[in-house]
Amino acid sequence: MNDELLPGFTTRRVDADGVGVHARVAGDGPPLLLLHGYPQTHVIWHRVAPLLATRYTVVLTDLRGYGDSDKPASAAPNHAAYSKRAMAADQYLVMRELGFERFAVVGHDRGARVGHRPALDHPDAVAALAVLDIVPIRHTFATADTHFALGYYHWFFLAAGNGIPEHLIGADPGFWVRTRMQARHHGGTPFHPTAMAEYVRCLSDPAAIHASCLELIRVR
């Protein structure tokens, strides 16, 4: 795990009811949990986390199935192990283990959907919630058109099942990650090459590819 992008952040391995969650912590002040999206890790916050750490105790984690966090097997037909409720429970337990009974949450993409869950399940623990770059799934599927399908084809691809997305992504994870990420900055600041390399490293794990597909099946 490269420390270049997050100097001053300490690394923690936190047990969340049997699931090991990779975390980075820095700063002093009110606790703030930042949750990443797909296909990233906690490193996605590297430009803003050091700034936030001047005012907050910033906690960055890899969601279960991602980064250096555990990727538990899922034998149940409904893949409840990768429900947003299960993923959110990890994060709630991480913050409790770190000594924070009440905290703010910021989530991007899938991290936003995970962050929404503890606000519902543990309202006394979540002091504030910010969700970035999401709209309700029911709305998107109910109003999907050609434009949406072309922009978000990966939602349907990752949820295809039968090992299809795992096999195709696994053939060249670097190509998949880079093309997905490069399509998302739309002429803005490109992703840092060190961060990109970290995303590729983590999604090159077949267990991570499989976990991310199971999570999309749960979204569907």
64 near 19, Cβ under 8 Å? yes
Q: What pLDDT does residue 182 have? A: 83
The pLDDT-based confidence of 77 (bands split at 50, 70, 90) is confident
* Separation of alpha carbons 105 and 114, rounded Å: 10
The listed range with the strongest mean pLDDT (102-116, 138-152, 172-186) is 102-116
Mean pLDDT of 111-120: 94
* Separation of alpha carbons 19 and 41, rounded Å: 17
109 near 133, Cβ under 8 Å? yes
* Separation of alpha carbons 35 and 63, rounded Å: 7
Mean pLDDT of 131-143: 87
The pLDDT-based confidence of 220 (bands split at 50, 70, 90) is very low
Mean pLDDT of 117-146: 91
* Separation of alpha carbons 47 and 6, rounded Å: 9
**Is pLDDT larger for residue 215 or for residue 130?**
130
Judge whether residue 218 has pLDDT over 70.
Answer: no
Mean pLDDT of 93-113: 97
Q: What is the pTM of this model?
A: 0.93
Q: Residue 108: beta bridge partners?
A: 132
Q: Which residues contact 201 (CB under 8 A, 6 or more apart)?
A: none
Q: What pLDDT does residue 183 have? A: 74
Mean pLDDT of 170-193: 85
Mean residue pLDDT across the chain: 92
Q: Which residues contact 217 (CB under 8 A, 6 or more apart)?
A: 79, 82, 158, 159, 161
Question: Parallel, antiparallel, or unpaired for β 57-61 and 31-35?
Answer: parallel
212 near 156, Cβ under 8 Å? no
Judge whether residue 65 has pLDDT over 70.
Answer: yes
Judge whether residue 193 has pLDDT over 50.
Answer: yes
- Taking alpha carbons only, the member of 170, 181, 172, 161 closest to residue 208 is 170
